[in-house]
Amino acid sequence: MTTTVSQENQVAHNRRVLANKGDVFSSFNVEDFAVPHGRDEEWKFAPLRKLRGLHNGTAGDPVAANISVDTAGREGVAVDVVKRGDSRLGRAGVPTDRVAAQAFSGFSEATVVTFEKNSASTEPVVINVEGPGEDSVAYGHIVIDVESHAEAVCVLNYRGSGTFADNVEFVVGDGARLAVVTMINWNNDAVHGSAHHAKIGRDATLRHTVATFGGELVRVVPRVAFTAPGGDADLLGVYFADAGQYFENRLLVDHAVPNCRSNVMYKGALQGEPNVAHREARTAWVGDVLIRAEAAGTDTYELNRNLLLTEGARADAVPNLEIETGEIAGAGHAATVGRFDEDQLFYLLSRGIPELAARRLVVRGFFSEVINQIPVESVRAKLEELVDEELNTAGF
């Protein structure tokens, strides 16, 4: 699985003008990647000093990852723990940055969850990832394989402390349907770098949600590739950053075949502490959608909205559309960063609702557009609870 190149060749590859957003260097071997710097486009927002060596090989010796899967009462689901080199690993994608490659080079065992052909699992299979603990580092690898014409629902829970990096693969077979929710609710001292690789088959459907509420630094990089016509992907995200936290979502949807659809919608809120060193709340969202010349009939849209609740909060939003054919059904993008909608607030106040309650209603309504699309009721309830907890922290 290793692509062997020299550091010099890799650096030269990074510096030349790429043909498109999808033409990036990839390798399973961490040594094939140069150490990233803040001037690099893909790392320009991230505070590299907070990555605890995940990006430059100084993170220290890893401990074993603590990953468990709850399949109780679910038929047609198999769970296997495998070693590196197993043929089921690496099918959905190859690491495209050094942190993801470090995770692949560093894990000891991978977890493969397979939903058998034609099976239907409407209750979620829950995958729990526990942090390695304070001052410890661990690497993980998870594969969710939904075979042809199967239906599956998964929830990934990240919690605890420590430094963790992983790759998560989603292989969605022809005619299959997968709804997956990634709940990132680390303790405030955790650092997490995660690469998501999704491969979508003919007439297959992926509903992919990332919810980030905990951790000192969390960077999630989803990459979605359509492999045959008829694919359909929704990428949803919610995040709520507090003082001292940095959350980044950097995604690519690669339309390489005709007649596929994608929709991206991420919403985030931030509350920092003004004029206090290292207590700013920061987020970055970079959404790349590539429509290749062969992808006639593509229909795509991406949206990112950010709500700044206090001073000392900064959100960067960068939507990118790259279109190589004019034969598409539709394409568009939008991104905003701003404070409360004063018209909404005025309307609620005019109806006799106290200001504090009105502000809470505005924030809840802001997130509800995304949360209401999540197909798991228990997850929707948990996210609403987490939003309320964040608002309580802010004194709303």
- pLDDT band for 213, please (50, 70, 90 cuts): very high
Determine the Cα–Cα distance for residues 207 and 263; give it in Å rounded to an integer: 10
Cα–Cα distance for residue pair 352/334, rounded to 1 Å = 33
Structure tokens at 330: 């539709």
Amino acid symbol at 226: F
What is the CA 263 to chain-centroid distance, rounded?
14
Is the pLDDT confidence value at 7 over 60? Answer: no
Q: Residue range 168-192: average pLDDT?
A: 97
More confident residue, 222 or 272: 222
**Percentage of the chain modeled with pLDDT above 90:** 78
Q: By percentage, how much of the chain surpasses pLDDT 70?
A: 94
Strand 137-146 and strand 163-172: the pairing is parallel
Paired sense of beta strands 125-130 and 66-70, if any: antiparallel
Reading phi first (left if > 0) and then psi (alpha if -120 to 50, else beta), residue 9 is in: alpha
Q: Quick one: average pLDDT of 340-346?
A: 74
Strands (E), 8-76: 66-70
- Of 196, 62, 83, the C-alpha closest to 135 is 62
Look at residue 299 and give its three-state secondary structure. Answer: strand
pLDDT band at 394 (very low <50, low <70, confident <90, very high): low
pLDDT tier at 134, thresholds 50, 70, 90:
very high
* Sheet with 330-338, side-by-side order of all strands: 66-70, 125-130, 151-159, 177-185, 205-214, 232-241, 261-270, 299-308, 330-338
Torsion of CA 177, 202, 292, 22, to 10 degrees: 60
Q: How far is CA 295 from the centre of its chain?
A: 24
How many CB atoms neighbour CB 318 within 10 A? Answer: 15
Structure confidence at residue 395 as a pLDDT band (50, 70, 90): low
**DSSP symbol at 120:** B
Query: What DSSP designation does 265 have?
Result: E
Residue 229, φ and ψ in degrees, nearest 5: -60, 155
On average, the pLDDT of the chain sits at: 92
Query: pLDDT value at position 13?
Result: 45
Stretch among 266-270, 300-304, 356-360 having the lowest mean pLDDT? 356-360
Residue 340 pLDDT greater than 80, yes or no: no
Place of tokens 């929707």: 380
Give pLDDT, residue 99. 98
**Is pLDDT of 3 > 50?**
no
Provide the pLDDT for residue 375: 87
Give the pair of three-digit tokens for residue 7: 């550091």
pLDDT for res 396: 63
Q: Classify 89 as helix, strand or coil.
A: coil
Neighbouring-strand partners of residue 173: none
- CB neighbour burial string for 158-184, b if at least 16 within 10 angstroms, e if fewer: bbbbbbbbbbbbbbbbbbbbbbbbbbb
Region 191-199: what's the mean pLDDT? 98
